[in-house]
Amino acid sequence: MISRLRKLGQYLLSIMSVLGRAGELWWQAVWRRPRLSNAPLLMRQIYQLGVLSVVIIALSGFSIGAVLALQGYNQLVKYGAESALGLGVALVLVMEIGPVVSGLLFAGRAGSAVTAEIGLMKATEQLSSMEMIGVDPLQRIIAPRIWAGFISMPILSLMFCVVGIWGASLVGVNWLGVYEGAFWSAMQEGVDFETHVLKGIVKSVVFGLVVTWVAVFQGYDAEPTSEGIAAATTRTVVYSSVAVLVLDFFLTLVMFNF
Amino acid sequence: MSDSHVRIENVTFSRGSRRIFDGVSLEIPRGKIVAIMGPSGSGKTTMLRLIGGQLKPATGKVWVEDKCVSRLTRTQLFALRRNMGMLFQSGALFTDISVFDNVAFPLRIHTDLPEEMIRDLVLIKLQAVGLRGASALFPAELSGGMNRRVALARSIALDPSMMMYDEPFTGLDPIAMGVVVQLIRTLNKVFGTTSIIVSHDLQETASIADVIYVIADGKLIGAGSPEELFNAESPRVQQFIKGLPDGPVPFHYPARDFETELLEGDDL
């Protein structure tokens, strides 16, 4: 009994210590006056994390929009309500699927890359040598990646929604023959910027922060061996995906007044 | 200003359950070449990391330029490190930028020099290590020894008042080794750079060091000029210097008795 309690205690303590170290890393990287000379580094990370994710985001957005239109049409047409197809697809994409799926994709594509890169920099002593040159890696390596995630994620999520709606309109209007005027006007009528779009953007900002935070911490804290980096990369994808899904539930709970 | 550049006072340091240093004290006089020697695994590299403030001692103090390293804030520590150069065993070049940019990195960060001047400085440093022709290459295109020479050029880019070399001679061919030995000596003679060399290459190290400290089993077992050490009476120092396989300093990692272990098999 005592030994079980002790194990539980040890486990909780180790979780607290990881959270503490991760929080300290984030705090030290972010709450420092950003320097203008670091702007090129930030641009480069936005390119690496954001721009290079555009293709996968657009492809997935298109497929999901198209599928939503197919399935939605099947159900709506039973009640003769297929003119609401555009509205339904847009709401689902903007409030839920856009931020969540782009968050998951971001974790898989960008998060894993960040962890592996930082882990390898640590293993090859590049972080150490940067410290000894008198440059803080938190500022030069960690901070630009955190900011880049913060900036790219909402944009990627919006792109996802736009491409998804376009995909839905191709399937719904051009193929299944939903009346075009109703498709767009119901959407225009029913989707409100503040009540729907903005809340989706807030979600995506939170997801961007969480995914990059997990990714940089796992990389920075990785054991500097090949197994260590492999494990850290896996942890990044698992933890940040779960975090996105769980946080989505709570954000929805809080923001949509349940 | 005191005479010693670095002062290590009664430092203890453990890694996991293994005690690496057990009350080590030593002094690194300003402007001298000091070698820290010992069998591999004796914590020589750890000593450099303690001096550079990357690790903190469990007890005891590390003083650099009369500042207690473990008590500095992050910002003060980074300011102090601008005056330290460190050559890592692996080189630790930044793999995403070219050789030229690697050497230019500290200059661009810590000085406001115009780009033409940085270019000249970088070429001077690269010329010194014989790799001016490789300035456009990337670290992945260099051999291990060349990597280390570029790293040396980078670590002296800001003309630090103190240089730390982690195993500078390992894996270099005789010519490159000669160049590095010559370079360490020149930096010391011309600029008065305090140099700390961590090594187990006795011959090269003894040929340039003013003072040698020998560390084994977490303790300082010998100190003095190369001649003094060669004539030291301590059997432990003699064993190290003569390269005897077994003696007071065990060659074997602590283990059970060999014969018993072989005969018993695994207790599974």
Range of the domain at A31: 2-255
Look at residue A200 in the predicted model and tell me its pLDDT: 94
Interface check for A225 against chain B (CB to CB < 8 A): the answer is: no
* pLDDT tens column, A126-173: 998 998 888 888 888 999 999 999 999 999 999 999 999 999 999 999
A46 with A110: CB under 8 angstroms? no
Q: B223 pairs with which residues across the strands? A: B213
- All residues of chain B having their beta carbon less than 8 Å from the beta carbon of residue A28 are 74
CA dihedral of residues A134, A138, A144, A147 (deg, nearest 10): -150
Buried b (16+ CB within 10 A) or exposed e, B225-243: ebeebeebeeebbbbbbee
Look at residue B115 in the predicted model and tell me its pLDDT: 92
C-alpha distance from A252 to closest chain B C-alpha (Å): 40
Asked if pLDDT for residue B247 goes beyond 90, the answer is no
Q: Which two tokens stand for residue A11?
A: 């486990």
* pLDDT tens column, A72-93: 999 999 998 888 999 999 999 9
Look at residue B169 in the predicted model and tell me its pLDDT: 84
Look at residue A103 in the predicted model and tell me its pLDDT: 96
**B72, B78, B155, best to mutate vs chain A, most A CBs in 10 Å:** B78
The whole-angstrom separation of Cα B144 and Cα B39 is 23
Look at residue B175 in the predicted model and tell me its pLDDT: 83
Identity of the residue in B74, B86, B90 whose CB atom sits nearest the CB atom of A132: B86
**B55, B75, B81, B159, best to mutate vs chain A, most A CBs in 10 Å:** B81
Specify the DSSP element, H or E, that contains B19.
Answer: strand B18-29
Chain B residues at the A interface, defined by Cβ less than 8 Å, are: 52, 54, 74, 78-79, 81-82, 84-86, 88, 90, 92-95, 105-106, 109-110, 151, 154-155
- Write down the pTM of the prediction: 0.84
Look at residue A139 in the predicted model and tell me its pLDDT: 86
Radius of gyration of chain A (CA): 21
Identity of the residue in B78, B92, B93 whose CB atom sits nearest the CB atom of A128: B92
Look at residue B250 in the predicted model and tell me its pLDDT: 67
DSSP notation for B207-228: HH-SEEEEEETTEEEEEE-HHH
Residue for token pair 């000085």: B111
What does the pLDDT average to over A212-223? 93
Asked if pLDDT for residue B245 goes beyond 60, the answer is yes
Listed range (A153-167, A169-183, A235-249) with the worst mean pLDDT: A169-183
What does the pLDDT average to over A118-130? 92
Q: Which two tokens stand for residue A57?
A: 């985001």
B216-221 long-range Cβ contacts below 8 angstroms, 24+ apart: B216/B38, B216/B39, B216/B42, B216/B240, B216/B249, B217/B22, B217/B42, B217/B249, B218/B19, B218/B20, B218/B21, B218/B22, B218/B24, B218/B42, B218/B43, B219/B21, B219/B22, B219/B23, B219/B24, B220/B24, B220/B25, B220/B26, B221/B249
Averaged confidence pLDDT in chain A: 92
- All residues of chain A having their beta carbon less than 8 Å from the beta carbon of residue B82 are 133-134
Task: Label residue B178 by pLDDT band (50, 70, 90).
Answer: confident
- Give Cβ neighbours of residue B217 (< 8 Å, ≥ 6 apart): B22, B42, B249
Do the Cβ atoms of B84 and A132 come within 8 Å?
A: yes
Look at residue A58 in the predicted model and tell me its pLDDT: 96
- Structural domains counted in chain A: 1
Q: Above pLDDT 70, what percent of chain A?
A: 99
Q: Crossing angle of helices A98-106/A143-169, nearest 10°? A: 130
Residue-range domain boundaries for chain B: 4-83+160-267
Task: Label residue B267 by pLDDT band (50, 70, 90).
Answer: low
What does the pLDDT average to over A92-108? 95
* pLDDT tens column, B113-146: 999 999 999 999 999 888 899 989 999 998 888 8
- Give Cβ neighbours of residue B185 (< 8 Å, ≥ 6 apart): B33, B208
Task: Label residue B20 by pLDDT band (50, 70, 90).
Answer: confident
Q: Which two tokens stand for residue B47?
A: 């000593």
Averaged confidence pLDDT in chain B: 85
CATH number for region B4-83+160-267: 3.40.50.300
Asked if pLDDT for residue B1 goes beyond 50, the answer is no
B131 with B146: CB under 8 angstroms? yes
What does the pLDDT average to over B167-185? 84
C-alpha distance from A135 to closest chain B C-alpha (Å): 7
Do the Cβ atoms of A134 and B109 come within 8 Å?
A: yes
Look at residue B200 in the predicted model and tell me its pLDDT: 80
Q: H helices of B134-173, where?
A: 144-155
The whole-angstrom separation of Cα B236 and Cα B247 is 7
A107 with A241: CB under 8 angstroms? yes
Of residues A215, A72, A67, A60, the one with CA closest to residue A148 = A215
3-class state of residue B197 by DSSP:
strand
Residue A123 corresponds to which amino acid? A
Q: Which two tokens stand for residue B150?
A: 């570029």
Look at residue B219 in the predicted model and tell me its pLDDT: 84
Most confident of A157-161, A223-227, B32-36, B149-153: A157-161
Asked if pLDDT for residue B246 goes beyond 70, the answer is no
* pLDDT tens column, B80-115: 888 888 998 888 899 889 999 999 999 988 888 999
What does the pLDDT average to over B171-198? 86
- All residues of chain A having their beta carbon less than 8 Å from the beta carbon of residue B105 are 133
Look at residue B266 in the predicted model and tell me its pLDDT: 64
Counting Cα atoms < 13 Å in the Cβ hemisphere of B80 gives: 21
**A33, A132, A140, A142, best to mutate vs chain B, most B CBs in 10 Å:** A132
